[in-house]
A and B are shown apart, each in its own frame.
Chain A
């Protein structure tokens, strides 16, 4: 019986096994191998040991890509989550028409990664764009935000913050789970709204905050489309929007330096894995589980 069930299970898992081996684990191992070679599609591969990794240490564009990506992740994710939590708090307090507000705020999350929205962003923050038209109404002279190295990354941060609806919906679901009696007890003890927020809401919500944080960080590290479209694939101006994945694309599929791109992919995996582990370790000190 058990044997038959095992066989049936393997039959149901057959497509997944094939995919796991052929399209996931095989390529992971291959990419590890390629990262030690000088592979260019045309010339085949030569083993170069740690050369790609050494080159990465001395590659100024890689350094700026890291700086850009870190700035983006560590500015946009906290802003996005703070906004998501704030709106979820407001909407949770029995607002009429909640489904409509929730939908309106959530919609950008679905669209945010599309080329169309990136195209829109390029115009909105362009020299003749919507933002500058509005500023002109107030007689303020704007700059070409996306073509200015000091502001281009900021416009992409705004784009990511704009997609706060997805974490907001998760926060809303989490807020629903906090028993009303906790708030009642806190009120009886004389806690005001601020005190209730920090003593009841935040501790009870920490697992959800943690979940959103991990998820949004992983997503943000992999940002590509927006930077590619806004800079026409260059990562400009002056590499100010050269996201890590964009630079990886340039080296791998622009210059066909597959070995170098693979080494870069492994560094990305280590960074994302590292921050995820770090999040889990730190979680022990601030995430509170009721049971």
Chain B
């Protein structure tokens, strides 16, 4: 049974002088930084290019703009049928619904799987795990037909309602794992004090689940904000377009001359992901290390 969870890596072999080691370390950092820059270069370049006049985008691979302009932003903002904040607002509505749905429905299901004894628990748990692997493409056609029978095509219901019904089973699994790690004494004490399951769930388990809930909220935000396939299929009229679908029509109608405005709106669309990334790094890294979601 390993007791050590942190270590500094395999022991260095041979007799390396301190100078050689620090030179080696500097070289390693230089390589890591260089590699990081290569990886981030396209992103930085896109952001910088969004402030360049379009003709400079095609002639300057460098990061320092010779002319700085906000024209791409003003032009891009109004280039489509609706101003860009219309699509941002649509995306925010969809994302807010999805986040609330996932938090509520997945935590409820997780509480039952992690804490309650009931007939069919093992079977249902196995079914739940299998749905994680199901490709969306298998269900999308019948879902489309179902939602169109309900008159839901071109509304946000097809994207939000499934979340309220806990179809993102990944997060159920995440929260089951988390709740299993919480001491049972707490809810048993509450039960002896006469609390029902609703109260134990709401007053004891949920507040203790904050890290798992945060992970769920952040990933749901980023996935839904990024999601293209479902929004492309279900949102038909430009009035209902979310940011990814709007960007798509933009890029299709774009001739070479409007890369600047397209980059400007693309950069804006990545903004909220950056924000959540910076704010929630701790949860993101832990969430991905334990469950493998990205």
Contact = CB atoms under 8 A, between A and B. Distances in A.
Interface of A: 2, 5-6, 8-10, 12-13, 15-16, 18-20, 22-24, 26-28, 30-31, 34, 41, 87, 90-97, 99, 101-111, 113-117, 119-124, 128, 130, 133-134, 137, 162-163, 166, 169-170, 172-173, 176-181, 183-184, 187, 192-193, 196, 211-212, 215, 218, 221-222, 224-225, 228-229, 232-233, 245, 248-249, 252-253, 258, 261-262, 264-266, 268-269, 272-273, 276
Nearest to B233: A253
Given A9-B121, A115-B244, A128-B58, A101 B36 contact: yes
Contact of B137 (A87, A130, A245): A245
A235 to B, nearest CB: 14
A248 B233 CA distance: 12
A170 B288 contact: yes
Given A12-B112, A101-B32, A130-B45, A115 B228 contact: yes
Nearest to A107: B277
A193 B32 contact: no
B285 A5 contact: no
Contact of B289 (A122, A173, A245): A173
A27 B135 contact: no
A215 B170 CA distance: 12
Given A2-B117, A192-B13, 9 more contacts: A27-B139, A107-B277, A110-B284, A133-B60, A170-B288, A179-B2, A222-B135, A229-B248, A273-B133
A60 to B, nearest CB: 21
Contacts of B165: 15-16, 18-20, 22-23
B157 to A, nearest CB: 12
A79 to B, nearest CB: 14
Contacts of B111: 12
A172 B289 contact: yes
A52 to B, nearest CB: 12
A13 B112 contact: yes
B292 A105 contact: no
Contacts of A15: 104-105, 108-109, 164-166
B226 interface: yes
Of residues B116, B142, B143, B262, which shows the largest number of chain A Cβ atoms within 10 Å of its Cβ?
B142
Contacts of A222: 135-137
Contacts of B266: 115-116, 119-120
B20 interface: no
A224 B228 contact: yes
Interface in B248-280: 248, 251-252, 256, 259, 262-263, 266-267, 269-270, 273, 277
Contacts of B141: 27, 31, 34, 252, 258, 261-262, 265
B167 A23 contact: yes
18 contacts: A12-B111, A12-B112, A16-B172, A28-B142, A34-B142, A104-B36, A109-B294, A115-B251, A119-B263, A123-B259, A123-B263, A130-B42, A228-B232, A229-B251, A232-B251, A245-B137, A252-B141, A269-B138
Given A90-B28, A215-B292, A269-B138, A116 B8 contact: no
A289 to B, nearest CB: 14
B277 to A, nearest CB: 6
Nearest to B61: A133
A215 B134 CA distance: 12
A119 B262 contact: yes
Interface string B101-145: 000110011011000111101001001100101111111111111
Interface string B53-75: 00001111100000000000000
Interface of B: 2-11, 13, 28-29, 32, 35-36, 39-40, 42-43, 45-46, 57-61, 104-105, 108-109, 111-112, 116-119, 121, 124, 127-128, 131, 133-146, 148, 161-162, 164-167, 172, 196-197, 201, 222, 225-226, 228-229, 232-233, 243-244, 247-248, 251-252, 256, 259, 262-263, 266-267, 269-270, 273, 277, 281, 284-285, 288-290, 292, 294
A176 B5 contact: yes
A94 B233 CA distance: 47
A258 B140 CA distance: 10
Nearest to B281: A103
Contacts of B289: 169-170, 172-173
Nearest to B167: A19
A211 B143 CA distance: 30
Q: Closest 9 interchain pairs by CB?
A: A19-B165, A93-B9, A166-B294, A27-B142, A30-B142, A116-B266, A173-B289, A9-B118, A179-B2
Given A24-B131, A28-B139, A180-B4, A113 B58 contact: no
B29 A9 contact: no
Contacts of A108: 39, 43
Given A114-B244, A169-B289, A183 B11 contact: yes
B288 A268 contact: no
A268 B138 contact: yes
Contact of B10 (A93, A173, A253): A93
Nearest to B146: A27
B94 to A, nearest CB: 14
Contacts of B116: 5-6, 8-9, 12
Contacts of A248: 137
Contacts of A276: 133
